[in-house]
Structure 1
Amino acid sequence: MTESTARQTAGSAPGTVDRAPLRLMAVHAHPDDESSKGAATSARYAAEGVEVLVVSCTGGERGDVLNPSFGELPATAEGMAELRRAEMAAAAKALGVSHRWLGFVDSGLPEGDPLPPLPEGCFALVPLEEAAAPLVELVREFRPHVITTYDPSGGYPHPDHIMCHKVAFEAFHAAGDPERYQVEGGAPAWEPAKLYYNHDFSMNRIRTIHEAVVDAGLESPFSDWVESRAAREIPEREVTTRVEVAPYFPQRDAALIAHATQIDPEGFFFAIPRDLEADVWPFEEFELAESRVPTTLPEDDLFAGIRTEEGLV
């Protein structure tokens, strides 16, 4: 992908004349996704004065408890939902970002052969325009210059991740059209300048870190995975943008730990020495899906083409 193939829209672009701070919106499916995908990037930009808003499409109500060392669980679904909200608040504080819920219900990850039907009323079954409406409204209210989310596969085939992509893609295209998603008394139309897809779990990253760990004489948590047939068959999507974030690994890790029901502090997220990770993979990767401003690839900044000499941080 080159400058000529990055999609552009004629006319003035948001961010090129605005004198307000830059704004980044990261759209995720569940609480904890924001801490495992693009978290250090969010922390870096927030520390640099960018206004960063994390959006959680669902409350994560059907997420399994993945931390074997977690203590006693709430006895009710309402109690679990409240716990997930508290975890998300702690993670947002660790990253230095703002946070909003869209309010949809977690679809859960269906398992079995054949797969069971999704539960009635869950996020993945909501009609697209109904699911996108609150995000369109939030885009118009927050006025992000950049939106990040998942690629069309969802990053992995969780129905909420796939739906999250659809909703964010729809909002990116619809928020700037005053004829669509009209709300009486709502914020005026706003057209974001760039849309990116997260690439935190690319096989290139996993293999690179795996090989560095093995070369250092350590045990890699990725050994079985990188040698599997499933790993070999995963297509690599294009990487257009690498953001240097190693100094913000501590904030990312603190946000991960905040999701105590989901993240095992002794698990694979923390099995790689951080000095080794910073040496071989000190960045987070993104794929520029669309740009309404001219930009030259590869990039090292999500706001490339948006920043001006004055008025924007």
Structure 2
Amino acid sequence: MAVHAHPDDESSKGAATTARYAAEGVEVLVVTCTGGERGDVLNPSFEVPEGHEFTSIDGRRAVRRLEMAAAARALGVRQTWLGFVDSGLPEGDPLPPLPEGCFALAPLEEAAAPLVELVREFRPHVMTTYDPTGGYPHPDHIKCHEVAVEAYHAAGNPDRYVVDGGAAAWEPSKLYYNHGFSMERMRAVHEAMLGAGLESPFGDWIESRTAREIPEREVTTRIQAAEHFSQRDDALVAHASQIDPQGFFFAVPRDVEIDVWPTEEYELADSRVPTTLPEDDLFAGVREAVR
């Protein structure tokens, strides 16, 4: 179970991993906490699908549901919605208040309750989500982390989140945090691009992150996923309102990426089964335990 804040996050964080496991026969469920209703158009070539509009909250939600369905098909995974409304990314100094009724303002137990029920129904052995920083300081990403961690720890306790007629308690075996663009990865790809005489998209980013002294989190688990990068790319492009097919995500030639960085990285946050670090499989320890 991969828990994400918005539609498109599942395609930019761990997408090739989910596609790999789905191809291997693992049941994979992507849970999207919000409808992405407050996301701006980030693709200059985006055209609103016929019969839709993208100016209202309801219109954006409908379009992004179409995009999410296409991305899920590209990855070969199942997907469901937690049902909360996008909080938007506040900007300014001071920051404006978050909109009433948004995901980030929901009390933790209210926000976690539907995810706890999903965990009990789907019965995942492994859950993935964001680290406590959210990966970046979007309020929905931080809330997504809090909700996923709460569900991971609470779903196995039959005395918590009691629902008449609800599914039986279920305790997942492992919890991981996604690692996105780590400094190690960016430096490796940056140097490879320069070495090939190509313009690197990471130069300014490396300098800005270093200047802000953003700490690197531990990588415990590297998943070989290069064979599924094309599915990841197809899923990204499916989010047409958000992803520019000529933009940042496609600035590194795939042959360079596969040669330099063919893996996706994770941080093991909790394990209820024995495992040895470093790992190359999210199900290390789980496979032995369920035999």
Deviation at 1:78, TM superposition (A): 1.7
For structure 2, the 5+ residue unaligned runs are: none
1:108-127 counterparts in 2 under 5 A?
108-127=88-107
Find the aligned partners of 2:261 and 2:121 in 1 and give their Cα distance: 35
Q: Secondary structure at the match of 2:266?
A: strand
SS of corresponding position for 1:99: strand
Closer, same or farther: CA 268–231 of 1 in aligned 2, 3 Å:
farther
Q: How far apart are the structure 1 equivalents of 2:255 and 2:224?
A: 14
Deviation of 1:71 after TM superposition, in Å, equals 2.1
Greater RCO between the two (CA within 8 Å, min separation 6)? 1
Q: CA deviation at 1:69?
A: 1.1
Instruction: Tell me the TM-score normalised to structure 2 length.
Output: 0.96
Within the candidate set 272, 275, 296, 2:252 is matched to 272
Q: Does 1:246 align with 2:226?
A: yes
Q: State the secondary structure of the residue aligned to 2:28.
A: strand
> Residues 309, 58 of structure 1: CA spacing in aligned structure 2 closer, same or farther, 3 A cutoff?
closer
Measure, in 2, the Cα distance between the counterparts of 1:31 and 1:293.
31
8 Å CA contact retained: 2:135, 2:180 = no
Q: Distance in 2 between matches of 1:45 and 1:211?
A: 30
Structure 1 residue 152 and structure 2 residue 132: aligned? yes
| Identical aligned residues as a percent | 78
Q: In the alignment, is the contact (CA less than 8 A) between 1:59 and 1:106 conserved in 2?
A: yes
Distance 1:275 1:168 in 2: 35
Displacement of 1:228: 2.4
Query: Residues of 1 paired with 2:269 and 2:38: CA distance?
Result: 30
The correspondence of residues 77-226 of structure 1 with structure 2, limited to 5 A, is 77-226=57-206
Question: Quick one: structure 1 residues 229 and 168, their matched pair in 2 at CA, closer, same or farther if it must change by over 3 Å?
Answer: closer
Residue matched to 2:22:
46
CA distance in 2 between counterparts of 1:193 and 1:201 reads 26
Give the letter for the 1:137 counterpart.
E
User: Relative to 1, partners in 2 of residues 1:110 and 1:75: Cα closer, same or farther, differing over 3 Å?
Assistant: closer
Q: TM-score, normalised by structure 1?
A: 0.90
Given that 2:38 and 2:88 are in contact with CA atoms closer than 8 Å, whether structure 1 keeps it comes out as: yes
Q: CA RMSD in A?
A: 1.3
| Cα deviation digits, residues 227-269 of structure 1 (max 9, x gap) | 2255551100000000000000000000000000000000010
Q: Does the 8 Å CA contact 2:273/2:289 hold for their aligned counterparts?
A: no
* Bigger Cα displacement from structure 2, 198-207 vs 52-61: 198-207
Secondary structure at 1:303's aligned position in 2? coil
Which one has a larger percent helix, Structure 1 or Structure 2?
A: 2
User: Structure 1's 34 and 275: CA in aligned 2 closer, same or farther, altered over 3 A?
Assistant: same
In the other structure, the counterpart of 2:240 is 260
Which of 43, 46, 57 pairs up with 1:70?
46
Please state whether the residue corresponding to 2:287 is helix, strand or coil. coil
Structure 1 outlier segments of 4+, above 4 Å: 229-232
Paired letter, 1:71: E
The equivalences for 1:6-21 within 5 A come to none
Equivalent residues of 2:38, 2:60 under 8 A apart: no
Task: Give distance in 2, aligned partners of 1:309 and 1:159.
Answer: 36
* Conserved? CA contact 1:176–1:189, under 8 Å: yes
- Say whether the 8 Å CA contact 2:36–2:60 is kept in structure 1: no
More deviation, 224-233/248-257: 224-233
SS of equivalent residue, structure 1 residue 307: helix
Kindly state the Cα deviation for residue 109 of structure 1 after the two structures are TM-superposed: 0.3
Contact in 2 for aligned 1:203/1:231 (Cα 8 Å): no
CA distance in 1, matches of 2:208, 2:35: 33
Distance 1:215 1:117, change over 3 A: same
Q: How many pairs are equivalent?
A: 287
Counterpart of 2:60 in 1: which secondary structure? helix
Secondary structure in 2 matching 1:289:
strand
Q: Tell me the distance in 1 between the aligned counterparts of 2:187 and 2:45.
A: 28
Could you list the per-position Cα deviations for residues 65-98 of structure 1 after superposition, in whole angstroms to 9, with x for gaps in the alignment? 1001112453433222110000000000000000
Distance 2:284 2:200 in 1: 35
Q: Can you give the 5+ residue segments of structure 1 that lack an aligned partner in the other structure?
A: 1-24
How far off its partner does 1:310 sit? 8.2
Structure 1 residues 26-49: Cα deviation after superposition (integer angstroms, max 9, x where no partner): 000000000000000000000000
Q: Deviation per CA, 1:169-201: give whole Å up to 9, x if none.
A: 000000000000000000000000000000022
Are 1:203 and 1:234, in contact at CA under 8 Å, matched by a contact in 2? no
